[in-house]
Amino acid sequence: MVRTSGLRMSYGDQEVLSGVDLEVHPGEVVCLLGPNGAGKTTTIEILEGFRLPSAGEVRVLGEDPATAGDAWRARVGVVLQSWRDHARWTPRRLLTQLGGYFEPFSTPERPRPYEVDHLLATVGLAEHADRKIGTLSGGQRRRLDVAVGIIGRPELLFLDEPTAGFDPQARRDFHELVHRLSDLEGTSILLTTHDLAEAEKLADRILILAHGRIVASGSADELTRQVAGTAEVRWACGPDRFVHPTDDVVGFVRRLFEEHGDRLTDLEVRRASLEDTYLAMVQRAESGRPAGPVLEEVTR
């Protein structure tokens, strides 16, 4: 579905991507995380065919995005970080126009574009279908951006910071839409976000981009287990407080109660969160340090 090998991108003397290897499989939701300036948007734009890499191999739906034609583009959906065009159009008119571009590429194997009124209802814009786009709020405009990206029923959908400007209800509705596209339509999705809770909720797999490379890949639980290593148990006995790392939380806590009984207070078990894991991995990549326990780093 998506594969890059040794992907590099430089702007003058500044190398933004220094050998990115990634894959997205059919029906998979993959989230690309990374600090500002890590190259997330650059990576997405190369995969979309909007930017040429400096070096490396790129294949998206079996083709090089830089040379792929209209039939390839009809299979790909794109939601950019922001765009401000067609202010005098209405959502209904814009989506009807865009849907017409996909009609010639419909086949028995490839369904027709979404029906416009159904799509407007899906993204929560039914009541604003005939308002001028320039009068929509930021959140409403973002919903329209999503509708534009999926009008052609894409096999592969790129989402670059898709929920920026969404209120909590709109964000929840969007998350349900992503699950529906993936689970029911079989759409493969690659998204970027700074919202770690969103990444944990949506992604089958998380990629962490730092220092120009993918430094980790796995589900939120897999990444945490891979890097965290041990849990941390904190407790007090009288005036004294203690901290102890352990791989066997249940056994260690049982021994604490057996040895200290009623004197044991303020017992706390801490496991590394996705945020702990993400921050530690980024710090290691940027400093060149080898992997080590996350909790040790974030509690120093």
pLDDT tens digits for range 18-32: 999 999 999 999 999
pLDDT of 290 reads: 46
Residue 17 pLDDT greater than 50, yes or no: yes
> Which has the higher per-residue pLDDT, 110 or 175?
175
Q: Which residues share a beta bridge with 63?
A: 60
Q: So where are the chain's domains?
A: 2-218, 222-298
- 253 exposure class (CB count in 10 Å sphere: 0-12, 13-18, 19+): middle
Alpha-helix runs per DSSP H in the chain: 40-48, 70-73, 91-102, 116-122, 138-150, 168-183, 196-202, 220-228, 249-260, 274-287, 294-298
Q: What is the mean pLDDT of residues 35-40?
A: 89
For 61-76, the pLDDT digits (tens) are 999 999 999 999 999 9
In the chain, pLDDT over 90 holds for what percent of residues? 50
For 142-155, the pLDDT digits (tens) are 889 889 999 999 99
Residues ≥6 apart with Cβ < 8 Å to 62: none
For residue 161, CA distances in Å to 31, 34, 164, 168, 183 come to 10, 12, 6, 15, 21
Q: Strands of 14-24's sheet, edge to edge?
A: 14-24, 2-11, 55-60
Q: Are strands 76-79 and 205-210 parallel, antiparallel or unpaired?
A: unpaired
Three-state DSSP at 156 gives strand
Q: Which CATH superfamily is domain 2-218 in?
A: P-loop containing nucleotide triphosphate hydrolases (3.40.50.300)
CB 112 within 8 A of CB 106: yes
